Amino acid sequence: MGWNIFTNAPDSYHLTAAHIRNSLHQQGFATFNAADLDLSDSEKIDLISLCELSKSLPLDRFGEGGRHRSYCEGIWSWETETIDWKTGYQQPDGSIEIDYHQGSEYQPEFGGVVRKFLRMSDEILNKGLLNKLIWHDLSLTGMAEHYSRLLCGVHLIRMQALPGKPAKITPNCFHRDGQPFTAVHLIERCNVEGGATHIAPPYYANCQLEAVPAHEITRFLLNDPLDSYIIDDAAICHYINPVICDENASVGVRTIILIDFSPLEQSDRCPQ
Ligand SMILES: [Fe+2]
């Protein structure tokens, strides 16, 4: 996966990215949308294709039903300007799984548990749109200027709610993720209520929504494809409320791509 994908991007793209980066730095989070990403025609087609591919995601067997997921992680190297994706482990049924670790200090429901997810297919990992999102998000974090190697995690998650059966994001409370930066991009939202993002100061981590004063919460919704946000995990905590199926619908869906970045070692490229 090559790095210099934005060499030919228009000036307005870089100006917008600088604005998003400022918001992230000042508020601990920033929102942006499809217009800010300046998609090419082929990237627009990738969006439709991701929407289709997400329909065959398997159920995430960790936690309550309704959450379907595939995951992959890879090592980004400053030297090669590429990401080397992990290959995962072949299962007896032929599927390929990959381990996912999250510390218990960040994940009250599954912290310390090695969760196993279907490895994201190379078809998805090679999509131009996914590449664009990764490099865009990485540039917002500023981490590429400070580290030689980073761990990049990518989840494709389809929350599927049925009448009377909401789909819940885990953990179902305010929390931090443990990865220094995480970006979330909406792929599809159809026939659902909820799935709203709530941002609060970091000391409310592990609190239920009711325990946090309303004036401390910033709330927003990803509505349209590629409505997005990025969070600085040290600066804030976040909560996503359950996804509820619309009254007159037989099924409701909220599908996202989540991209996170963590250093693999101490900062070693700080300016002198
Ligand atoms: Fe989270």
Q: pLDDT tens for residues 234-265?
A: 999 999 999 999 999 999 999 999 999 999 97
Residue pLDDT, tens place only, 159-209: 999 999 999 877 889 999 999 999 999 999 999 999 999 999 999 999 999
Does pLDDT of 8 surpass 90?
no
Q: Give residue 61's pLDDT.
A: 76
Query: Is the distance from CB of 103 to CB of 33 less than 8 angstroms?
Result: no
Task: Give the distance (Å) from ligand 1 centre to CA of residue 82.
Answer: 26
Residues that place a CB less than 5 A from ion ligand 1: 177
Residue pLDDT, tens place only, 193-206: 999 999 999 999 99
Categorize the per-residue pLDDT at 112 as very low, low, confident or very high, splitting at 50, 70 and 90. low
Categorize the per-residue pLDDT at 5 as very low, low, confident or very high, splitting at 50, 70 and 90. very low
Task: Give the distance (Å) from ligand 1 centre to CA of residue 105.
Answer: 13
Task: Give the distance (Å) from ligand 1 centre to CA of residue 107.
Answer: 9
Task: Give the distance (Å) from ligand 1 centre to CA of residue 87.
Answer: 25
Residue pLDDT, tens place only, 73-98: 999 998 998 999 999 999 999 999 99
How does DSSP assign 113-152, residue by residue? Answer: --EEEEEPPHHHHT-HHHHHHHHHHHHHHTGGGT-SEEEE
What is the mean predicted confidence (pLDDT) over 219-237?
97
Task: Give the distance (Å) from ligand 1 centre to CA of residue 61.
Answer: 18
Does pLDDT of 28 surpass 80?
yes
* Average of per-residue pLDDT values in the chain: 90
Categorize the per-residue pLDDT at 2 as very low, low, confident or very high, splitting at 50, 70 and 90. very low
Q: 155 exposed, middle or buried (CB, 10 Å; 0-12, 13-18, 19+)?
A: buried
Task: Give the distance (Å) from ligand 1 centre to CA of residue 178.
Answer: 9
Backbone CA torsion sign across 259, 264, 265, 271: negative
Task: Give the distance (Å) from ligand 1 centre to CA of residue 93.
Answer: 31
| Integer Cα distance of 171 and 175 in angstroms | 7
Q: Give residue 3's pLDDT.
A: 45
| Integer Cα distance of 191 and 213 in angstroms | 29
Residue bearing tokens 């909560």: 239
What is the mean predicted confidence (pLDDT) over 110-132?
89
Q: Which two tokens stand for residue 205?
A: 């981590």
Task: Give the distance (Å) from ligand 1 centre to CA of residue 239.
Answer: 7
Nearby residues of 26 by Cβ (< 8 Å), 6 or more positions away: none
Query: Is the distance from CB of 185 to CB of 256 less than 8 angstroms?
Result: yes
Query: Is the distance from CB of 2 to CB of 202 less than 8 angstroms?
Result: no
Q: Give residue 11's pLDDT.
A: 76
Task: Give the distance (Å) from ligand 1 centre to CA of residue 237.
Answer: 8
Task: Give the distance (Å) from ligand 1 centre to CA of residue 10.
Answer: 32
Residue pLDDT, tens place only, 29-71: 999 999 999 999 999 999 999 999 999 998 887 766 788 999 9
Q: Which two tokens stand for residue 268?
A: 């070693």
Closest CA to 226 of 93, 48, 16, 76: 48
